[in-house]
Amino acid sequence: MSHSPIASPQGLALVARIRDFCTKLPEVAEKVDGFGHTTFRVKDKPFIFIGERDTQVSTSLKTNLTTQEFLLGQDGTAYKKTPYIGQHGWVSIMNIDLVPWAEIEDLIVEGYARTAPKKLVQQLKATIS
């Protein structure tokens, strides 16, 4: 299933907002992958995928299995298990407007911490303390 590079105003605004937050994390790089997803990575390992198909924007975040289970188990949840990589704890949000931004930021930090080398995680802890 191929995604187009993000082009809708809401998709571009979301990428800009996530980029603004991710640039505060140590050594994060943004890259468009071969499927057209905008990804945010640390040491070339992704912790966020943002894709768009037919102007429907989806965001996938790396979490641990416990967090994933909690998010998927909520009544009326905006989260779903990410296809193909969900068994590794990834969750997707099809409508990010249904999720409080503070929760998104917490999930971004969790995904970063699960992906980054220990040295960068220590650096992150020093910056957010």
Q: Mention every residue, 6+ apart, whose C-beta is less than 8 A from residue 85.
A: 60
Q: Where are the beta strands (DSSP E) in 33-99?
A: 38-42, 45-53, 56-62, 79-81, 90-93
In this prediction, residue 54 carries a pLDDT of: 81
- How far, in Å, CA of 6 to CA of 27, rounded? 23
- List the pLDDT tens digit at each of the 129 positions of the chain: 555 689 999 999 999 999 999 999 999 999 999 989 999 999 999 999 999 988 789 999 999 999 999 999 999 999 999 999 999 999 999 889 999 999 999 999 999 999 999 999 999 888 776
CATH of 9-122, one of 1.10.10.10, 3.90.1150.30, 3.10.350.10, 3.20.20.70: 3.90.1150.30
Where in the chain are the domains? 9-122
In this prediction, residue 57 carries a pLDDT of: 92
Q: Find out whether 26 and 123 touch, Cβ atoms under 8 Å.
A: yes
In this prediction, residue 2 carries a pLDDT of: 57
